[in-house]
Structure 1
Amino acid sequence: MQIQPKIIKDFKKALSSEGLRFTEQRLQVLEDILSSDSHRDCNEIFQSIKIKGHQVSIPTIYRTLDVLVDYGFIRKLDIGDGAVKYEKKLGHPRHDHMICIESGKIIEFIDERIEQVQDEIASNNDYEIVGRVHQLFVKPKKK
């Protein structure tokens, strides 16, 4: 995947702000997560990079993911029981998640009605929304 020069420039600036060096390994983490539409944990990202023939340590992945989250490149999802998944945020439309508590499956959805209700609630209380996180924890219906 070819990453836009501005994204790499912003990534380098974010790393520098955190006192971290820009390295080929950190670039591999960025490229891997931005090239995927999946919700993945650190180990899945590690395996994906390894399969492509690159080497990067788990601690480097975690440090890089923290920077990518803090600077808005990716989103960190708490999917329950302490488990965390990551997804790209850049160029990805705003959406919500349903997380199956039995299988761990994550289903993305967009429903403008939910956003309208949230906007009304904020406005009725003299606030404006500056960020949203909406996750539904679900399980299959019993038949």
Structure 2
Amino acid sequence: MDANLKLRKQVKNEFMEYLTLHKHRKTPERFAILDHIYSTKGHFDMDTLYKSMIEVNFRVSRATLYNTIDLLLDCGLVIKHQFGGNISNYERAYGNENHNHLICTICGEVWEMKNDDILTPAQLKKIRKFNVSYYSMYIYGVCSKCSHAKKMQLRKLTRSVKDKTKDK
């Protein structure tokens, strides 16, 4: 069985157990949203999710999306991130490697970086009475594109000031 298909079946079963335990309805829309999220990798916001569901010809209301995301967050199948700004980003909780998020404070772009060496097995053993499921770190800074644009803007400004002082 394909690894992604196996993962999607596993999360569907977990979601089914969660819905049963908490006496929520098991609607086809909820399972379609879960399957759609686990069919793709990476971060998404609610608008992106809504548009991508429509692109695959699955009509779902925004209210259903928001309600389902709340359920998926509560049962631990989706992770919510606030990288800055007013938009929440999400990603699936299972099937992702532990990774760091590099966030540019100027353009808001987010990159993922593997963090295999952040916590070694020996360090994980030192965390007593705590079972680590996953971890993530946010690293804020300025990307090379924004840094270059800032340098060019500064050069332009410096030239402009030099030209004005020459004219006087």
The bucket for the TM-score relative to the shorter chain is: 0.7 to 0.9
Aligned-pair CA distance for 1:128: 5.6
Query: Which TM-score applies when normalising by structure 1?
Result: 0.79
Aligned 8 A contact 2:98 2:115 in 1: no
Work out the CA distance in 2 between the residues paired with 1:79 and 1:33: 19
Query: Partner letter of residue 110 of structure 2?
Result: I
Work out the CA distance in 1 between the residues paired with 2:32 and 2:80: 18
Aligned 8 A contact 1:37 1:88 in 2: yes
Work out the CA distance in 2 between the residues paired with 1:82 and 1:17: 33
In the other structure, the counterpart of 1:134 is 137
Query: Partner letter of residue 67 of structure 2?
Result: R
Deviations 1:2-41 (A, max 9, x none): 5643322211121233432111111121011111112110
In the other structure, the counterpart of 2:59 is 55
Matched residue count: 139
Aligned-pair CA distance for 1:43: 1.2
Aligned 8 A contact 1:40 1:85 in 2: yes
**Structure with a larger share of its residues in helix:** 2
Q: Which structure: larger Rg?
A: 2
Residue 77 in 1 paired to residue 81 in 2?
A: yes
Query: Partner letter of residue 64 of structure 2?
Result: T
Q: Which runs of 5+ in 1 are unaligned?
A: none
Deviations 1:50-70 (A, max 9, x none): 111111111211121122122
Identity of aligned residues (%): 24
Query: Which TM-score applies when normalising by structure 2?
Result: 0.69
